[in-house]
């Protein structure tokens, strides 16, 4: 019989397939005791399971590359840390040794105990970490029973589950799963962000899914509207086919835009650069006709390994990016470790009281000059192979830029006298992501050749809303009147001084925000290659003159609703 319900459409796309219900995260274990002489064997069983899960997490980490490594890696690291937590390990040992519980029951008891502690915390971020605890416990439980902890997907099926971790999502897509429906989860979760960049339809926050869908039912999913139809009838199938046709038409249309200019209706050319962090990203950006690489995140070289990469390894990566873009500009951002991007090499400071406001980005680079020098040497050497410029993250004041410029000058001299061929002039730019730098831009813009606005961090610092704290929900959002005014002023200041200005945060890659950025005067975007064609299409349908004339109304908006209203009529 036909049933229908809805959740939140977290990642658009349509799918029709048989449902497979998987609930690996639930831990239903009844009380179970063991004999005294079985304690040692039980402990050994537990420790083997822990070692296996450690290996699994490491293996997953190594299989990730490109943007996935960046987005999913942080979660895997967090889960690996939990697994090393003495509180967790000792507690389990004690329950088995003293309580003579089975490893399974000890795991459940201890999970509930820790979850109770997390739940009692004032800090919503810690409360929300129960989800991470459950992912780790779920894996351990699976390892104890030698079955797969990963949500296993089957090609052509739609997975229905309680919740999905970012690492699982990446895996499910490669297994050919058509769509995912989860009872829990939110639109702002990292899984949701990742599903959007993977183009995998995802409906979250649909508790009815677990009651309404049975294993093997046929299900139609609309990832945009969050609608789910179980056992669809003829009219549903017709509607589904209509949506798929529309989707296909859109994809084809987008594909044709690969070789088209990014030109507004009134004939103004806008430059679309790509954000990249791997050779694959560079190749994709080139194929899509990106104007160049506007943000090459160098952290991935440092995050996927134990020690620090040496100058040679870095040089090869940067040189390959330059060669891959065949003469188009490549913007290498210097290391932006720290805050939520900590490495395993010990470069970042352990346990800073407030890491997002701590020693990250250029602050860390200047504090660890030997590491910074080896990176700058590698970048400057790559400049001998094609157009390249250097972008410095987390700039707060003029002195930082001057210090970097001084180092570059000295290193360039050393390299030339060492016989290296490097570019005559390597432009130096600052990321504008600290509000102080945005507000006082005119005080140091003379010291840089270009700027790029990091709206991801600028939003979090301007609104004092942690970009990784899901508990803050909608508070972390760029559509705030303060953000509109700041962006307008930054773009205006840069243009007045004839310095190129781009936006390279996620905002630039969302076609819903394109009219707004154009209205504020932006002419250079740097965005994930996955959304480049959509933004190009949006730009080609917009009249720049008309948008600019509407900018005062945008700046008068008093809240997010007002800005959204402006966007709806733009």
The catalytic site residues sit at: 190, 504
Q: Which of 456, 469, 489, 550 binds ligand PEP (CB under 6 A)?
A: 456
Rounded Cα–Cα distance for residues 320 and 52 (Å): 36
Q: Do residues 427 and 464 touch, judged by C-beta distance below 8 A?
A: no
The pattern of x and - marking residues 274 through 313 that bind ligand PEP according to CB under 6 A reads ---------------------x-x----------------
Rounded Cα–Cα distance for residues 492 and 143 (Å): 57
Residue 503 beta carbon to ligand PEP: minimum distance, rounded to whole angstroms: 8
- Parallel, antiparallel or unpaired: strands 329-333 and 292-297: parallel
Phi (first) and psi of residue 522, to 5 degrees? -75, 135
Q: Which of 134, 236, 457, 510 binds ligand PEP (CB under 6 A)?
A: 457
Helix 103-119 / helix 39-63 crossing angle, nearest 10 deg: 60
Instruction: For residue 338, state whether it binds ligand PEP (rule: CB under 6 A).
Output: no
DSSP 8-state code for residue 343: -
Q: What are the E-state strand segments in 67-217?
A: 157-161, 179-182, 202-204
Residue 506 beta carbon to ligand PEP: minimum distance, rounded to whole angstroms: 7
Instruction: For residue 454, state whether it binds ligand PEP (rule: CB under 6 A).
Output: yes
Residue 455 site contact among Mg ion, ligand PEP, none (CB < 5 to 8 Å, cut-off depends on kind)? ligand PEP
Q: Which spans in 288-330 are helix H?
A: 299-303, 311-324
Residue 52's contacts (CB-CB under 8 Å, 6 or more residues apart) are 143
Residue listed under structure tokens 């290498």: 332
**CB atoms closer than 10 angstroms to residue 1:** 5
Instruction: Give the tokens for residue 536.
Output: 């190009």
- Parallel, antiparallel or unpaired: strands 227-230 and 3-6: antiparallel
In sequence order, the β-bridge partners of residue 161 are 22, 182
Instruction: For residue 13, state whether it binds ligand PEP (rule: CB under 6 A).
Output: no
Cβ proximity to Mg ion: between 230 and 339 the closer is 339
Cβ proximity to Mg ion: between 138 and 454 the closer is 454
Residue 512 beta carbon to ligand PEP: minimum distance, rounded to whole angstroms: 17
Residue 378 beta carbon to ligand PEP: minimum distance, rounded to whole angstroms: 19
Cβ proximity to ligand PEP: between 328 and 528 the closer is 528
Q: Is 335 exposed, middle or buried (0-12, 13-18, 19+ CB in 10 A)?
A: buried
Instruction: Select the span of 196-204, 264-272, 454-462, 473-481 touching Mg ion (CB under 5 A).
Output: 454-462
Cβ proximity to Mg ion: between 150 and 433 the closer is 433
Residue 505 site contact among Mg ion, ligand PEP, none (CB < 5 to 8 Å, cut-off depends on kind)? ligand PEP
Residue 271, sorted as left (phi over 0), alpha (psi -120 to 50) or beta, turns out to be beta
Instruction: Give the tokens for residue 440.
Output: 């006082």
- Given CA atoms 279, 281, 283, 286 in this order, what sign does their dihedral have? negative
Q: Within 13 Å, how many C-alpha atoms sit on residue 44's CB side?
A: 5
Instruction: For residue 536, state whether it binds ligand PEP (rule: CB under 6 A).
Output: no
What H or E segment, with its residue span, contains residue 142? helix 130-144
Q: Of 170, 169, 172, 202, which Cα lies nearest the Cα of 186? A: 202
Rounded Cα–Cα distance for residues 530 and 198 (Å): 8
Q: Do residues 45 and 159 touch, judged by C-beta distance below 8 A?
A: no
Rounded Cα–Cα distance for residues 196 and 12 (Å): 7
Residue 297 site contact among Mg ion, ligand PEP, none (CB < 5 to 8 Å, cut-off depends on kind)? ligand PEP
Instruction: For residue 457, state whether it binds Mg ion (rule: CB under 5 A).
Output: yes
Instruction: For residue 338, state whether it binds Mg ion (rule: CB under 5 A).
Output: no
Instruction: For residue 454, state whether it binds Mg ion (rule: CB under 5 A).
Output: yes
Instruction: Select the span of 47-55, 351-359, 408-416, 450-458 touching ligand PEP (CB under 6 A).
Output: 450-458
Instruction: For residue 455, state whether it binds ligand PEP (rule: CB under 6 A).
Output: yes
Instruction: Select the span of 22-30, 154-162, 448-456, 481-489 touching ligand PEP (CB under 6 A).
Output: 448-456
CA 501 to chain centre: 23
Instruction: Select the span of 141-149, 310-318, 454-462, 475-483 touching ligand PEP (CB under 6 A).
Output: 454-462
Cβ proximity to Mg ion: between 103 and 362 the closer is 362
Instruction: For residue 504, state whether it binds ligand PEP (rule: CB under 6 A).
Output: yes
Instruction: Select the span of 208-216, 269-277, 451-459, 545-553 touching Mg ion (CB under 5 A).
Output: 451-459
- Parallel, antiparallel or unpaired: strands 329-333 and 388-392: parallel
Residue 49 site contact among ligand PEP, Mg ion, none (CB < 5 to 8 Å, cut-off depends on kind)? none
CA 405 to chain centre: 30
Cβ proximity to ligand PEP: between 74 and 208 the closer is 74
Residue 310 beta carbon to ligand PEP: minimum distance, rounded to whole angstroms: 23
Say how many residues touch ligand PEP, by CB under 6 A.
10
Residue 45 beta carbon to ligand PEP: minimum distance, rounded to whole angstroms: 42
Instruction: For residue 336, state whether it binds ligand PEP (rule: CB under 6 A).
Output: yes
The CA distances from residue 229 to 11, 107, 184, 234, 302, in Å, are 17, 37, 18, 12, 45
Instruction: For residue 343, state whether it binds ligand PEP (rule: CB under 6 A).
Output: no
Residue 400 site contact among Mg ion, ligand PEP, none (CB < 5 to 8 Å, cut-off depends on kind)? none
Instruction: Give the tokens for residue 397.
Output: 């004041």
Rounded Cα–Cα distance for residues 7 and 161 (Å): 13
Cβ proximity to Mg ion: between 428 and 555 the closer is 428
Residue 271 beta carbon to ligand PEP: minimum distance, rounded to whole angstroms: 17
Q: Which of 42, 104, 236, 433 binds ligand PEP (CB under 6 A)?
A: 433
Instruction: Select the span of 121-129, 346-354, 436-444, 453-461 touching ligand PEP (CB under 6 A).
Output: 453-461
Q: Which of 505, 515, 521, 529 binds ligand PEP (CB under 6 A)?
A: 505
Instruction: For residue 226, state whether it binds Mg ion (rule: CB under 5 A).
Output: no
Residue 393 beta carbon to Mg ion: minimum distance, rounded to whole angstroms: 6
- Name the site residues for ligand PEP (rule: CB under 6 A): 295, 297, 336, 433, 454-457, 504-505
Residues engaged in binding Mg ion (CB under 5 A): 433, 454, 457
């Amino acid at each position: 019989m036909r049933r229908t319900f809805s959740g939140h459409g977290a990642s658009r796309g349509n799918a029709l397939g048989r449902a497979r219900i998987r609930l690996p995260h639930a831990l239903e274990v009844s009380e179970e005791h063991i004999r005294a002489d079985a304690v040692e064997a039980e402990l050994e069983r537990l420790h083997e399971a822990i070692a296996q899960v450690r290996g699994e997490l490491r293996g997953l980490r190594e299989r990730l590359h490109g943007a996935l490594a960046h987005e999913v890696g942080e979660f895997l690291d967090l889960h690996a840390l939990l697994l090393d937590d003495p509180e967790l390990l000792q507690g389990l040992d004690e329950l088995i040794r003293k309580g003579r519980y089975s490893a399974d029951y000890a795991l459940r008891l201890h999970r509930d105990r820790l979850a109770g502690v997390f739940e009692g915390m004032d800090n919503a971020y810690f409360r929300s970490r129960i989800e991470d605890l459950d992912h780790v416990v779920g894996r351990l439980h699976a390892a104890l029973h030698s079955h797969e902890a990963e949500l296993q997907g089957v090609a052509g099926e739609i997975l229905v589950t309680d919740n999905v971790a970012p690492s699982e999502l990446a895996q499910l897509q490669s297994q050919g799963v058509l769509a995912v429906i989860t009872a829990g989860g939110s639109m702002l979760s990292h899984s949701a962000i990742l599903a959007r960049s993977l183009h995998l339809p995802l409906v979250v926050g649909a508790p009815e899914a677990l009651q309404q869908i049975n294993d093997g039912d046929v299900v139609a999913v609309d990832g945009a509207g969050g609608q789910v139809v179980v056992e669809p009838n003829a009219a549903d199938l017709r509607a589904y086919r209509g949506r798929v046709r529309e989707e296909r038409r859109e994809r084809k249309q987008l594909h044709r835009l690969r070789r088209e200019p990014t030109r507004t209706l009134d004939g103004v050319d806008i430059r679309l650069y790509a954000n990249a962090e791997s050779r694959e990203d560079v190749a994709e950006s080139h194929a899509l006709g990106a104007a160049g690489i506007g943000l090459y995140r160098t952290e991935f070289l440092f995050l996927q390994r134990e020690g620090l990469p040496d100058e040679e390894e870095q040089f090869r990566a940067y040189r390959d990016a330059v060669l891959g873009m065949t003469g188009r500009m490549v913007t290498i951002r210097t290391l932006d470790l720290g805050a939520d991007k900590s490495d395993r090499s010990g470069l970042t400071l352990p346990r800073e009281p407030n890491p997002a406001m701590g020693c990250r980005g250029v602050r860390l680079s200047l504090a660890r000059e030997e590491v910074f020098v080896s990176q700058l040497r590698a970048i400057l050497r790559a400049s001998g192979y094609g157009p390249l410029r250097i972008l410095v993250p987390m700039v707060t004041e003029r002195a930082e830029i001057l210090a970097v410029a001084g180092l570059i000058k000295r290193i360039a001299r050393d390299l030339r006298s060492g016989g290296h061929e490097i570019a005559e002039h390597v432009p130096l730019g600052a990321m504008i992501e600290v509000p102080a730098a945005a507000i006082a831009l005119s005080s140091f813009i003379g010291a840089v050749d270009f700027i790029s606005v990091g709206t991801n961090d600028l939003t979090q610092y301007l609104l004092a809303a942690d970009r990784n704290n899901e508990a803050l929900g909608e508070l972390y959002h760029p559509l705030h009147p303060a953000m509109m005014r700041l962006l307008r002023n930054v773009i205006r200041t840069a243009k007045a001084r004839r310095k190129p200005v781009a936006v390279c945060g996620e905002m630039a890659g969302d076609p819903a925000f394109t009219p707004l950025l154009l209205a504020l005067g932006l002419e250079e975007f740097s965005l994930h290659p996955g959304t480049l064609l959509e933004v190009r299409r949006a730009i080609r349908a917009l009249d720049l003159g008309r948008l600019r004339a509407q900018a005062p109304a945008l700046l008068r908006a008093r809240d997010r609703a007002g800005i959204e209203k402006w966007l709806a009529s733009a």
